[in-house]
Amino acid sequence: MPRQLVVVDPAFGPRLRSLREERGLSLRRLGQLVHCSHGYLWDLEAGGKRPSASVVALLDTALGANGELSALVSAVSADRGELVVGPAEAGPDAAVGLDFPQDWRHGAEVAAELWRGDMQRRDLLIGTGFNAAAFLTPALRWLTARLEEEPVGHGDRLVGEPHVETIRHISGVYRSLDNRYGGGHVRDGLVRFLDTEVAPLLRGRYDARTGIALYSAAAEATQLAGWASYDAGLNGLAQRYMVQALRLATAAGDRPLGAEILAAMSHQAAYLGASAEAVDLARAAGRTAAESGMAAIQAESAVLEAQGHAVGGDEAACTAALDRAERAFDRAENTSNPQWIGYFDEAYLSAKFGHCFAALGQGKLAARFAVRSLEMDGTAYARGKQFNLALLALAHVQSGEPEQAGAVGVQAAQAAESLSSERARAYLATLADRLTPYAGLPTVQEFSVRVRPLLRAA
């Protein structure tokens, strides 16, 4: 099948923005309707990215454009330069990484295929779309999986505990860099590590004890690659990494890590406006965490369920889930938690409370929790601090305090300058959109000047 490129008429971005504004939709609200991030939509309007045919069709429907936007987009063969009539068909790469095989051996090969494809065919895989419903089958198989045989390798290369510790140590280093500098800075290196170092180990020779530890470490690294991809705005790829991370965790029988992966799936689904799927995934994470006795992950799962309800506008269900999150957090003991959940503390919980209230339009409450969320290590978790500053600025807008929003927005923009994070840019794009009516205020003008080069950056 010939490779296809999308050709976009220069009028597409301005017309998209015009249609959105005519219908009184914010970038975030439109993103919820079409299951795309608001940062991605900002890029489409600014001409920084090319949409897929499926995204354009969704935009046409959501905006009642009667095919007007689709008429501004066409697919062209990259091999022969010929026009392709109608939307491009999804190639074989579209399905890579979404399988959740019944057999752990097949699961290892599917994961390795994803890593190799990301290295060798990244230009094709980047175009794969996100579909929140694609998370549900892996989640169901995780919840209903029978105890399978322990992973034992029969390859030529002998694998031992030092190899497993190397994977965990390198994952820890990448995790620290991700928190500090953003997923865009670490993603490629981590994927290369999975492809060149971890995949050969999975094909090596090891006993059951080593195999369990090896698959657990591989699952942890794969989940981190998914998280970094999500932060970099590669949501379709991120979804595939999350699915394969869950399959590897299943082979290892690592229930706490599986709960954390399900929680990450819920996080991504809520961010992209898929409320129902976010709630289901958070509940699956909470159930697994309860079975594992992990109160910290129970608290995280409950607050992510609350966020799913908030995105869907269900205030009562959101409030009930927040109450459960607070009670679970009071039971949690951070000293006994795995290193991969080291980020989960009172500041993180406060930020999630703030996001819930912001999604519900309750700016005063959102601001109160956003202020508490800033009591954090802003160096080790520089990206998280930027998110929390953007949250506080948005809460000020919702509270009718645009001058304070502009002032905090300047801090959020400054914090984003050292990050390679599409989510950081998306939060700033939302804030810029909400501050447009107050462009004459000095602090808002300062914010606009500061944020403009960040939003224009590819």
Is pTM beyond 0.85? Reply is no
> In the prediction, which pLDDT does 68 show?
87
Question: C-alpha 245: how far from its chain's center?
Answer: 14
pLDDT digits (tens, 9 = 90+) for 396-449: 999 999 999 999 999 999 999 999 999 999 999 999 999 999 999 999 999 999
pLDDT digits (tens, 9 = 90+) for 276-306: 999 999 999 999 999 999 999 999 999 999 9
SS3 per-residue string spanning the chain: CCCEEEEECCCHHHHHHHHHHHCCCCHHHHHHHHCCCHHHHHHHHHCCCCCCHHHHHHHHHHHCCCCCCHHHEEEEECCCCCEECCCCCCCHHHHCCCCCCCCHHHHHHHHHHHHHHHHHCHHHHCCCCCCHHHHHHHHHHHHHCCCCCCCCEECCCECCHHHHHHHHHHHHHHHHHHHHHCHHHHHHHHHHHHHHHHHHHHCCEECHHHHHHHHHHHHHHHHHHHHHHHHCCCHHHHHHHHHHHHHHHHHHCCHHHHHHHHHHHHHHHHHCCCHHHHHHHHHHHHHHHHHHCCHHHHHHHHHHHHHHHHHCCCHHHHHHHHHHHHHHHHHCCHHHCCHHHCCCCHHHHHHHHHHHHHHCCCHHHHHHHHHHHCCCCCCCCHHHHHHHHHHHHHHHHHCCCHHHHHHHHHHHHHHHCCCCCHHHHHHHHHHHHHHHHHCCCHHHHHHHHHHHHHHHCC
What's the one-letter identity of residue 34?
Answer: V
pLDDT category, 457, cuts 50, 70, 90?
confident
pLDDT at residue 341 is higher than 50: yes
Cα–Cα separations (whole angstroms), residue 442 to 398, 407, 425, 427, 453: 19, 9, 22, 21, 18
pLDDT category, 80, cuts 50, 70, 90?
very low
Distance CA 366, CA 410 (A): 19
Give the bridge partners for 75, in sequence order: 6, 84
pLDDT at residue 82 is higher than 90: no
> In the prediction, which pLDDT does 26 show?
86
Q: Comparing 80-84, 292-296, 336-340, 424-428, which segment has the lowest mean pLDDT?
A: 80-84
Distance CA 388, CA 354 (A): 9
| Phi, psi dihedrals of residue 151, rounded to the nearest 5° | -70, 120
4-89 carries CATH number 1.10.260.40: yes
pLDDT category, 79, cuts 50, 70, 90?
very low
Q: Comparing 129-133, 187-191, 262-266, which segment has the lowest mean pLDDT?
A: 129-133
> In the prediction, which pLDDT does 61 show?
80
Q: Comparing 44-53, 307-316, 372-381, 422-431, which segment has the lowest mean pLDDT?
A: 44-53
> In the prediction, which pLDDT does 432 show?
96
Cα angle at 150 between 149 and 153, to 5 degrees?
115
Q: Report the share of the chain in percent with pLDDT over 70.
A: 90
pLDDT at residue 226 is higher than 60: yes
> In the prediction, which pLDDT does 334 show?
66
Q: Tally the C-alpha atoms within 13 A of residue 434's C-alpha that lie toward its C-beta.
A: 28
Question: Residue 33: is it exposed, middle or buried by C-beta count within 10 angstroms (0-12/13-18/19+)?
Answer: middle
> In the prediction, which pLDDT does 94 show?
56
pLDDT digits (tens, 9 = 90+) for 148-169: 789 999 999 999 999 999 999 9
> In the prediction, which pLDDT does 1 show?
39
User: What is the residue extent of each domain of the chain?
Assistant: 4-89, 92-253, 367-458
pLDDT at residue 250 is higher than 70: yes
Is 90 or 444 the better-scoring residue by pLDDT?
A: 444
